[in-house]
Amino acid sequence: MLASTSRLAHLTGQAFSVETRSIVTRDGVEYAFAREANGNHLLVLAAAPSALAAFEGSTGEYSGGHLLIGPAIPHNAAALRTALPWLKPQPLGLRTSAGLGDRLGLATPGHVRAVRATGSTVAPIFAQQSIREMTRTVQTPQQVMDAATWGMFAEGWQDRCGADADHLKTPEDIDVCAAAGFTFYTVDPGQYVNDQVETMSPTARRAAYEALPWTRLEDTPGALEGRYLTRPFDYGTGRITVEAPALYKTAVKYGGVVAHVVSMYRHLVGVMGDRPFELEISVDETENPTTPIDHLYLAHELHRLAVRWVSLAPRYIGRFEKGVDYIGDVVEFGKDFAVHAAIARTYGPYKLSLHSGSDKFSIYGVAAQHTRGLVHLKTAGTSYLEALRTVAAFEPGLFREIYGFALEHYDADKVSYRVSAQLERAPKPGDVKDSDLPAVCDQFDARQALHVTFGSVLNWRNEDDSFLFKDRLYTFLNNHPEGYAERLEAHFIRHLQPFAEHVHTAS
């Protein structure tokens, strides 16, 4: 039903501000998302009151039917996903895809607009947050899921989407995300990568090789050597010949990774039962790049152990730092990335994933072209930065406070991130005119300081236990939804357009 013929559209200008993009009719029941000063609401209008039974809220007669006005609570989000099944996440398969992380739970409308503006060819993941981010934002997986649901509903999204439970390290991480309905599970076995192998002597490396968890790998040293040292491996555009020293090094570096991924995958299979899901494997947050032999080993061993995955995030050459463009030689990156893409096509196919992918504009075209669209882009903190840019434009005093706080807390908060900002290069809060404050979000050092301090900004409390920034930040963004959405749309068009030009559509 068109918004212009909707009975709910006429509520606009009365008690509620109805988002006309959200209005949809299914099975004779009309649904809409409404904003009010005291909070957001779900509107459901039906001919019979029994059609409202699944939802919570106040009911009454309106326009010849029965109207429910319900709060945007978890119960209603779950009921809405059942009533409008396109809001329920699904596996995306091998389609070119992008994860659009949302630390504040308010970015999905802008993300939806950017996906539409680029032709809706890149399959989106709107509900995405890592366990680390959830801890720092004090959010649950269910809250992340529900925030994306309300954002999609408000914008009238009716296409396929996924939900990424990101950087999972333990079976318990899987359990809580499965209970919330996530469909895309990113296992992070980074703690099992043995980076010390790079400096081991040949004798120490051989001893570490013999000490690998062979029982958990369901393997033996002799069997492994028999699989790799007896033949070359073609990957379409080249060939890899594995010599014994290289095999020992790779197995020591990634043997523990394989064992952990297998354990996590089998737990995931048990938890999900007959519910569809897909797996991503991430080894990006390590010191040393993943070599072609490393990649080959991971793919072959996981296949041997019957693990099925849809995407892999190696540690690429160069630096993928938070919130800034790729740091390194783009030409050399392209050459190395092309080999990884060929291996993924030959021994999969599966997608290559770009983690810490926000703002890596110089390599998006290269990645999309070499993978032929078999690629997944993962972003997160850049949406938070666009929120701060919006604050800077409309409420410079609040931004100046947050920025000064970020500079003070950067050194403590940067520990778990790959960043290289130097505070002496960042502009001082008092030296920037109000009109120039939005541009602070583009300055390399200031940008990284703002990026990694989000947890402290959202959780720091005054002596009276009130939040220093959180309540004011959310009040501002809820009062300026269009300003935030417009900036997100423009920003993410730049992210998605290169991938839309090389899209892979097979599922």
Instruction: Judge whether 138 lies within some domain.
Output: no
Task: Provide the token pair at 340.
Answer: 């990884």
Task: Provide the token pair at 228.
Answer: 């790799």
CA distance 435 to 415: 32
Domain that holds residue 12: 3-83
- Which residues on adjacent β-strands are paired with residue 240? 233
With a CB cutoff of 8 Å and minimum separation 6, the contacts of 464 are: none
Q: What is the pLDDT of residue 249?
A: 97
Query: What order do you get walking across the sheet with 17-26 strand by strand?
Result: 17-26, 29-36, 39-46, 65-71, 58-62
Q: What is the pLDDT of residue 37?
A: 76
Tens digits of residue pLDDT in 34-79: 998 778 999 999 999 999 999 999 999 998 999 999 999 999 999 9
Beta carbons of 386 and 488 less than 8 angstroms apart: yes
Task: Provide the token pair at 144.
Answer: 């992340």
Name the burial class of residue 245, with classes exposed (0-12), middle (13-18) and buried (19+) by CB atoms within 10 angstroms of its CB: exposed
pTM as predicted = 0.96
Instruction: Evaluate if residue 469 carries a pLDDT over 80.
Output: yes
Any idea which residue has 């925030």 for tokens? 147
With a CB cutoff of 8 Å and minimum separation 6, the contacts of 273 are: none
Beta carbons of 461 and 89 less than 8 angstroms apart: no
Instruction: Judge whether 350 lies within some domain.
Output: no
Q: Which residues are catalytic?
A: 166, 280
Q: How many CB atoms lie within 10 A of CB 376?
A: 33
Proportion of the chain in helix, strand, coil states, percent, rounded to 5: 50, 15, 30
Any idea which residue has 């939005």 for tokens? 438
Tens digits of residue pLDDT in 479-488: 999 999 999 9
CA distance 446 to 410: 10
Instruction: Judge whether 355 lies within some domain.
Output: no
Task: Provide the token pair at 197.
Answer: 């192998």
Tens digits of residue pLDDT in 180-206: 999 999 999 999 999 999 999 999 999
Task: Provide the token pair at 369.
Answer: 């072209």
Instruction: Judge whether 476 lies within some domain.
Output: yes
- pLDDT bin (cut points 50, 70, 90) of residue 6 is confident
User: Given 54, 83, 112, which residue is the final one in a domain?
Assistant: 83
User: Given 68, 83, 98, which residue is the final one in a domain?
Assistant: 83
**Residue 13, φ and ψ in degrees, nearest 5:** 90, -5
User: Given 83, 107, 140, which residue is the final one in a domain?
Assistant: 83
* Exposure string for 421-448, b = 16+ CB within 10 A, e = fewer: beeeebbebeebeeeebbebbebbbbbb
Task: Provide the token pair at 449.
Answer: 């300081």
Q: What would the mean pLDDT of 234-249 be, rounded to a whole number? A: 96
CA distance 127 to 367: 23
**Residue 257, φ and ψ in degrees, nearest 5:** -60, -50
Instruction: Judge whether 176 lies within some domain.
Output: no
- Residues counted in the chain: 507
Instruction: Evaluate if residue 284 carries a pLDDT over 50.
Output: yes
Instruction: Judge whether 334 lies within some domain.
Output: no
Instruction: Judge whether 302 lies within some domain.
Output: no
- Which residue, 73, 76, 72, is CA-closest to 55? 76
Q: How many domains does the chain have?
A: 2
More confident residue, 505 or 273: 273
Q: What would the mean pLDDT of 274-300 be, rounded to a whole number? A: 97
Task: Provide the token pair at 66.
Answer: 């029965």
Beta carbons of 353 and 378 less than 8 angstroms apart: yes
Extract long-range pairs of 49-53: CB within 8 Å, 24+ residues apart.
Answer: none
Beta carbons of 96 and 502 less than 8 angstroms apart: yes
* Three-state secondary structure string covering 80-95: HHHHCHHHCCCCCCCC
Query: In this structure, which amino acid lies at residue 221?
Result: P
Q: What would the mean pLDDT of 167-183 be, rounded to a whole number? A: 98
Instruction: Evaluate if residue 14 carries a pLDDT over 80.
Output: no
Chain centroid to Cα 261, Å, comes to 20
Q: What is the pLDDT of residue 507?
A: 67
CA distance 295 to 346: 12
Instruction: Evaluate if residue 129 carries a pLDDT over 60.
Output: yes
Q: What would the mean pLDDT of 104-116 be, rounded to a whole number? A: 98
Q: What is the pLDDT of residue 3?
A: 45
Q: What is the pLDDT of residue 9?
A: 84
Instruction: Judge whether 34 lies within some domain.
Output: yes
Instruction: Evaluate if residue 1 carries a pLDDT over 50.
Output: no
The one-character DSSP state at 71 is E
Peptide bond into 438 cis (omega under 30): no
Tens digits of residue pLDDT in 311-354: 999 999 999 999 999 999 999 999 999 999 999 999 999 999 99
- Which residue, 96, 89, 87, is CA-closest to 310? 96
Tens digits of residue pLDDT in 398-409: 999 999 999 999
- Which residue, 344, 299, 298, 337, is CA-closest to 318? 337
